[in-house]
Amino acid sequence: QKEVEQNSGPLSVPEGAIASLNCTYSDRGSQSFFWYRQYSGKSPELIMFIYSNGDKEDGRFTAQLNKASQYVSLLIRDSQPSDSATYLCAVNKKPFGGGSNYKLTFGKGTLLTVNP
């Protein structure tokens, strides 16, 4: 089982719709969860992070975390063509035995296309 799994897509939505991006992770010890957006030829850009179960909203973006189901999602409301990019889910796992050397593991990303 992969540590962090995402549907590779492409996920295609019309402009103005809600885009829903999903991510599952295998390690129950995971403590923090991040969503990055990566445009073609560019580096990843942090757009959301969440540490606790529930929802976290920032503008058009909502991150949802369910630790019991080991599931994290990103909702993009009122999707725009400029949202077309690959969205990377990343999970931070606390090292076994304590310490501070967390390891950030990325999924392979979901390609989102927003059609005008």
Residues that bind another protein (CB under 8 A): 31-32, 34, 36, 42-46, 49, 51, 88, 90, 92, 94-95, 100-109
The residue among 2 and 77 lying less far from another protein, judged by its C-beta, is 2
Compute the least distance from the CB of residue 43 to another protein, in Å.
5
User: What residues does 85 pair with on adjacent strands?
Assistant: 112
The string of DSSP letters for the chain reads: --SEEE----EEEETTSPEEEEEEES-TTEEEEEEEEE-TTS--EEEEEE-SSEEEEETTEEEEEETTTTEEEEEESS--GGG-EEEEEEEEEPPTTS-S--EEEE---EEEEEE-
The residue among 63 and 79 lying less far from another protein, judged by its C-beta, is 63
The residue among 17 and 49 lying less far from another protein, judged by its C-beta, is 49
Compute the least distance from the CB of residue 102 to another protein, in Å.
5
The residue among 34 and 79 lying less far from another protein, judged by its C-beta, is 34
Compute the least distance from the CB of residue 77 to another protein, in Å.
22
